[in-house]
């Protein structure tokens, strides 16, 4: 790595991931990391591919191209470079590739990676659908049954690469779908990989217990759960981690009032750090039960989120609004 990129005047957080190449170019240019010749070479490579794509689109459309479509085609050219750079794990290396690489080769490699991402996304979707929850949630069922089909039928990597050509409202464990910074196929890849892992985890639990939990959650919210927009995996995780904290050794989601009393008695005066350590340890005891390494890695960061939320509710005396009591008492295991 040369001296230029070891002392960057900006960091990865400064870059807009939804417009990665354009944002990176702007930062490199503003900080004098690109020579005028290099900037001209990059612009020429982008323009050449844009004009080529524009000509192809025009021949298919049999007419002139509107500004809206022209902008989408131009963004699709840059998106190939986005895909290339976002596949590089080191930000400094990505900057080095932009400064020293052949941008035509970057666009070509990005195009190849984009096709691989499409294939990977299809695989994630199929696996997510194969272990989908049986729930009465329009948003969840649309994501599982309809959204990817619409995407695969209408997505165009050449002309509309940044669009997902569908609408996904079902949230993931770590936030709303719209909060995912990537666009196009990279958005779909992240979304369906996450959904696949969440479905895998939830499928480890007895279906009857899950159904009971979701119904009970709806009752506590004075609605049918299918009319509420929430993440099923989050609800399952909260119940599971609470049981793990209480020493349960089998996978389950059932909790009763006595469990709440035991939880409060044990952690009422604990610090957040103490609770975080206890949750991590409790989760760790289930590694051999879960066995799926990808699921474990995906869920591990949530243990600290859960611990923080639990700590807040313990301090405020609102644990009963955070967790769900089911109709059946929790059985000692």
Task: State residue 3's pLDDT score.
Answer: 47
CA torsion 305-310-315-317 (nearest 10°) is 140
> Domain for residue 154, yes or no?
no
Number of domains in the chain: 2
End position of a domain, from candidates 63, 96, 112: 112
> Domain for residue 144, yes or no?
no
Token pair listed for 258? 């006595």
Task: State residue 333's pLDDT score.
Answer: 47
Phi and psi torsions of 172, nearest 5°? -100, 175
Q: Whole-angstrom Cα distance, residue 51 to residue 35?
A: 24
Q: Whole-angstrom Cα distance, residue 267 to residue 246?
A: 11
Question: What's the predicted TM-score (pTM) here?
Answer: 0.93
- 78's enclosing H/E stretch is helix 67-86
> Domain for residue 271, yes or no?
yes
Task: State residue 64's pLDDT score.
Answer: 73
DSSP 85-111: HHT-S-HHHHHHHHHHS-HHHHHHHHH
Task: State residue 7's pLDDT score.
Answer: 78
Same domain, 104 and 227: no
Phi and psi torsions of 135, nearest 5°? -135, 160
Q: Long-range contacts for 285-293 (Cβ within 8 Å, ≥24 apart)?
A: 285/244, 285/249, 286/244, 286/251, 289/204, 289/251, 290/201, 290/204, 292/200, 292/201
> Domain for residue 174, yes or no?
no
Task: State residue 61's pLDDT score.
Answer: 64
Task: State residue 332's pLDDT score.
Answer: 42
Q: Whole-angstrom Cα distance, residue 218 to residue 215?
A: 5
Spell out, as residue ranges, where the chain has pLDDT lower than 70.
1-6, 61-63, 327-333
Distances in Å between the alpha carbon of 11 and those of 92, 94, 98? 9, 12, 15
> Domain for residue 311, yes or no?
yes
Distances in Å between the alpha carbon of 275 and those of 50, 71, 102, 245, 324? 55, 51, 51, 9, 19
Token pair listed for 104? 């035509």
Q: Domain range holding 87?
A: 3-112
Q: Whole-angstrom Cα distance, residue 144 to residue 2?
A: 46
End position of a domain, from candidates 112, 140, 157: 112
> Domain for residue 43, yes or no?
yes
> Domain for residue 193, yes or no?
no
The tens digit of pLDDT for each residue in 184-210 reads 999 999 999 999 999 999 999 999 999
> Domain for residue 195, yes or no?
no
Same domain, 101 and 224: no
End position of a domain, from candidates 88, 112, 136: 112
Q: Whole-angstrom Cα distance, residue 199 to residue 140?
A: 11
């Amino acid at each position: 790595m040369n001296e230029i990129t070891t002392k960057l005047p900006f960091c990865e957080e400064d870059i807009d991931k939804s417009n990665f190449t354009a944002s990176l170019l702007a930062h490199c240019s503003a900080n004098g990391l690109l020579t005028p010749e290099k900037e001209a070479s990059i612009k020429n490579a982008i323009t050449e591919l844009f004009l080529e794509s524009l000509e192809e689109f025009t021949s298919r459309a049999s007419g002139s191209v509107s500004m809206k479509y022209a902008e989408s085609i131009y963004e699709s050219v840059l998106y190939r470079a986005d895909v290339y750079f976002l596949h590089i794990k080191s930000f400094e290396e990505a900057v080095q590739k932009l400064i020293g690489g052949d941008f035509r080769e970057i666009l070509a490699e990005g195009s190849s990676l984009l096709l691989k991402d499409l294939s990977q996304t299809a695989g994630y979707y199929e696996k997510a659908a194969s272990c989908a929850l049986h729930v009465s949630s329009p948003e969840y069922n649309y994501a599982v049954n309809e959204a990817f089909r619409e995407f695969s039928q209408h997505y165009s990597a050449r002309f509309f690469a940044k669009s997902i050509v569908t609408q996904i409202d079902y949230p993931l464990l770590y936030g709303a779908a719209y909060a995912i910074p990537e666009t196009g196929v990279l958005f779909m890849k992240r979304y369906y990989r996450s959904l696949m892992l969440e479905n895998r985890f939830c499928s480890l639990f007895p279906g009857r217990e899950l159904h009971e939990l979701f119904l009970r959650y709806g009752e506590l919210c004075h609605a049918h759960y299918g009319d509420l927009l929430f993440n099923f995996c989050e609800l399952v995780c909260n119940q599971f981690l609470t049981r793990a904290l209480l020493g349960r050794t089998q996978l389950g989601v059932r909790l009763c009032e006595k469990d709440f009393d035991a939880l409060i008695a044990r952690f009422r005066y604990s610090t957040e750090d103490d609770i975080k350590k206890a949750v991590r340890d409790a989760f760790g005891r289930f590694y051999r039960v879960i066995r799926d390494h990808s699921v474990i890695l995906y869920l591990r960061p949530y243990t600290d989120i859960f611990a923080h939320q639990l700590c807040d509710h313990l301090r405020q005396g609102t644990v009963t609004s955070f967790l769900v009591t089911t109709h059946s008492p929790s059985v000692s295991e």
